[in-house]
Amino acid sequence: MKNIILILLLIILPISLYSFDGDAAFNKATGLYNAGQYDHAKDIYIGLLDSGYTNATIYYNLANTYYRLDKIPQAILNYERAKLLDPFNEDINFNLKLANLKIVDKFEPLPKLFFVEWYEDLLDLANSDTWAYMSIGLIWITLLFVFLTFWFSFQFNVKKSLFMTAVITFVIGVFTMFMTFRVSIKENLKNYGIIYVPSVYVKSSPDNNATDLFILHEGTKVQILENINNWYEVKIQNGNVGWIQMNSFEVI
């Protein structure tokens, strides 16, 4: 018993200290930000992310810091990363819109079919962790109703109602599992980027001598379609497609 307690303490103590250090660093960075020392705050937030503290709040605070430093591409990048983890956060979405007002490129997005918009909104409803928790909860609820179905085996009407409830919760559980899988792919799929250079000509093919199709400026969001060596085919909101080099953008 003593050995088990000792092992648990050895596991829990480092985790607690790690969390405490992270909290202390986060509070220090927030204090520096409030004091107007944005460069120092930025370095601490980046250090937290490099140490494995990847949550929406840190990305959001780092984005705010970059915004204060007038580094708009970096601000947009981190607002977008924060949005991936917390899609419906009003502060993140509002500040992202403000940052996008400061960039040069303004493109009208292509209209989408209503069911595509509905599906994308559904994907943004929650992050993969939330969908996973819902899946686990529904599985347990399904098992509970299955157990109760057998418990009331001599009462036909009650048994029928419990069985139907178990079927419904099972179907919803399967759906939430599917959503967990799809949202997890979306969160980990690096298929969007932010232009990080002042301007870049988008080429008709992956070649420096190819025709210039159009120009993009820093802060613009692009969809990454495919890559050949250091060249990436990208798509912008209005549907235009072309090729840029890897050093022109940062992946969200």
In a domain, 105, yes or no: no
pLDDT at 196: 95
- DSSP conformation letters of 104-142: S---PPPP--HHHHHHHHHHTTS-HHHHHHHHHHHHHHH
Which two tokens mark 211?
């025709």
Residue identified by tokens 């919760």 is: 169
The burial of 123, by beta-carbon neighbours within 10 Å (0-12 exposed, 13-18 middle, 19 or more buried), is given as middle
Exposed (0-12), middle (13-18) or buried (19+): which is 142, by Cβ within 10 Å?
A: buried
Question: Per-residue confidence at 154, pLDDT binned at 50, 70, 90?
Answer: low
Amino acid occupying residue 71 = K
106 occurs within a structural domain: no
Which tokens is 124 given?
């943004």
pLDDT digits (tens, 9 = 90+) for 70-120: 999 999 999 999 998 888 899 999 999 999 999 999 887 767 677 777 777
Q: Which residue has the tokens 């209503």?
A: 114
Categorize the per-residue pLDDT at 189 as very low, low, confident or very high, splitting at 50, 70 and 90: low
pTM above 0.85, yes or no: no
For all residues of the chain together, what is the average pLDDT?
84
What is the extent of the structural domain holding 171? 115-188
Confidence (pLDDT) at 245:
94
* Same domain as 173, residue 133: yes
Most confident region among 46-60, 141-155, 171-185 by mean pLDDT:
46-60
Structural domain ending residue among the three candidates 75, 100, 125: 100
Q: In what order do the strands lie in the sheet with 199-203?
A: 212-217, 199-203, 241-245, 231-235, 221-228, 192-195, 249-251
109 part of a folded domain = no
Evaluate if residue 17 carries a pLDDT over 70: no
Instruction: Place 18 in a pLDDT band, splitting at 50, 70 and 90.
Output: very low
User: What is the percent of the chain where pLDDT is above 70?
Assistant: 88
Q: Is residue 247 one of the residues assigned to a domain?
A: yes
* The pLDDT of residue 146: 83
- Report pLDDT for 251: 92
Cα–Cα distance for residue pair 250/98, rounded to 1 Å: 20
Number of domains comprising the chain: 3
27 lies in a domain? yes
Considering the domain architecture, whether residues 55 and 93 belong to the same structural domain is answered as yes
Query: Could you tell me if residue 107 is inside a domain?
Result: no
Nearest to 43 by CA among 55, 23, 58, 56: 58
- 149 and 95, same structural domain? no
Q: State residue 181's pLDDT score.
A: 82
Burial of 144 (0-12, 13-18, 19+ CB in 10 A): middle
Domain boundary among 188, 207, 226: 188
Interaxial angle between packed helices 90-100 and 72-85, expressed in degrees from 0 to 180 and rounded to the nearest 10: 150
Is pLDDT at 123 greater than 90 in this prediction?
A: no
Share of the chain above pLDDT 90, in %: 49
Boundary residue ending a domain (100, 134, 156) = 100
Q: Are residues 236 and 219 in the same domain?
A: yes
